[in-house]
């Protein structure tokens, strides 16, 4: 009996340690938190951007501070991207939060970010693409290079480019064929379903006026992946049943355009 109890205790401790390690190693979303910064407390970077000390500010506080500085923060944010060390992730977290905060106001940084997309370091290129996505339609000058990445062979870079193009938008005659080609693959074995679902979301805004996009949705309702089939069916329903304006007296719970479960 004692041996059994001891064995159970050992197993319990092992499970707890595994759970702790998973929670520690799980990456936090860029827009959720700012990691501890390695610079001395109260450091002020060029452009007047205050760099938070270790554990001092969260992402929301960083965004508020950068909004207050405005576009004067752009030189500092660009510097954080290019000078980031491999063991200091906070520079990029702050930079990402900054571009999220500035949004389209960060458009003056687009030429520099386009140059970063040619950097020899893959991580710098990826961060530049993420920042372009935060800028949105004002980053339209980056679309040709993003399309070139999307048609390349680097799967991780393709996923980032697709996300950026989804936020930036552009000419449907250019984007729809590129999105359909990406949807059709080839894909990583471990990411095939998620990549195809992401392509469907990217195509959705164009499906109403693009026969090619609509045809892609209908094809994907017969995809080999259950996840892709379900998502394609749901999105196709939303495309074919757009929500109508809520009528006077109609309850707020109206969910037009969303496919309901039987």
Q: How far apart are the first and last CA of the chain?
A: 52
Peptide bond into 186 cis (omega under 30): yes
Number of neighbouring beta carbons within 10 Å of residue 135 = 25
CATH classification code of 30-170: 1.25.40
The 3-state DSSP class for residue 44 equals: strand
CA proximity to 49, closest of 79, 76, 83, 80: 76
**What's the Rg (C-alpha) of the chain?**
23
Are 199 and 219 in contact by the 8 Å Cβ rule? The answer is no
Which ranges constitute the DSSP H helices of the chain? 2-25, 59-69, 74-82, 90-102, 110-116, 122-135, 143-150, 155-168, 172-183, 192-207, 211-220, 226-240
The 3-state DSSP class for residue 45 equals: strand
- CB neighbour class for 127 (10 Å; exposed up to 12, middle 13-18, buried from 19): buried
Q: pLDDT truncated to tens, each residue of the chain (262 aa)?
A: 555 444 444 444 344 444 444 444 444 433 333 333 333 333 444 344 444 444 444 566 777 777 887 888 888 888 888 875 554 566 677 788 888 888 899 999 999 999 999 998 888 898 899 999 999 999 999 999 999 999 988 888 999 999 999 999 989 999 999 999 999 888 777 888 888 999 999 999 998 888 999 999 999 999 888 999 999 999 989 888 877 777 777 665 544 444 444 3
In the chain, domain spans: 30-170, 172-244+256-262
Phi and psi torsions of 165, nearest 5°: -65, -35
């Amino acid at each position: 009996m004692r041996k059994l109890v001891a064995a159970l205790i050992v197993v319990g401790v092992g499970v707890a340690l595994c759970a702790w390690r998973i929670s520690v190693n799980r990456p936090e979303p860029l827009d959720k938190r700012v990691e501890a910064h390695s610079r001395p407390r109260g450091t002020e970077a060029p452009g007047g951007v205050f760099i938070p000390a270790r554990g001092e500010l969260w992402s929301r506080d960083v965004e508020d501070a950068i909004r207050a500085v405005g576009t004067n923060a752009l030189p500092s944010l660009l510097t954080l991207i290019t000078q980031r060390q491999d063991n200091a992730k906070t520079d990029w977290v702050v930079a990402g939060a900054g571009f999220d905060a500035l949004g389209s106001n960060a458009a003056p940084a687009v030429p520099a970010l386009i140059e970063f997309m040619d950097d020899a370091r893959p991580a710098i290129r990826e961060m530049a693409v993420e920042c372009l996505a935060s800028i949105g339609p004002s980053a339209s000058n980056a679309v040709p290079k993003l399309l070139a990445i999307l048609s390349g062979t680097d799967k991780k870079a393709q996923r980032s480019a697709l996300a950026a193009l989804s936020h930036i938008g552009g000419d449907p005659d250019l984007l729809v064929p590129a999105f359909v080609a990406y949807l059709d693959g080839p894909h990583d074995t471990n990411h095939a379903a998620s990549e195809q679902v992401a392509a469907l979301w990217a195509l959705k805004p164009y499906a109403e006026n693009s026969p090619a996009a609509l045809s892609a949705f209908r094809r994907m309702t017969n995809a080999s992946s259950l996840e892709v089939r379900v998502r394609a069916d749901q999105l196709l329903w939303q495309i074919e049943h757009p929500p109508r304006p809520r009528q006077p007296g109609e309850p707020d719970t109206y969910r037009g355009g969303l496919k309901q479960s039987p």
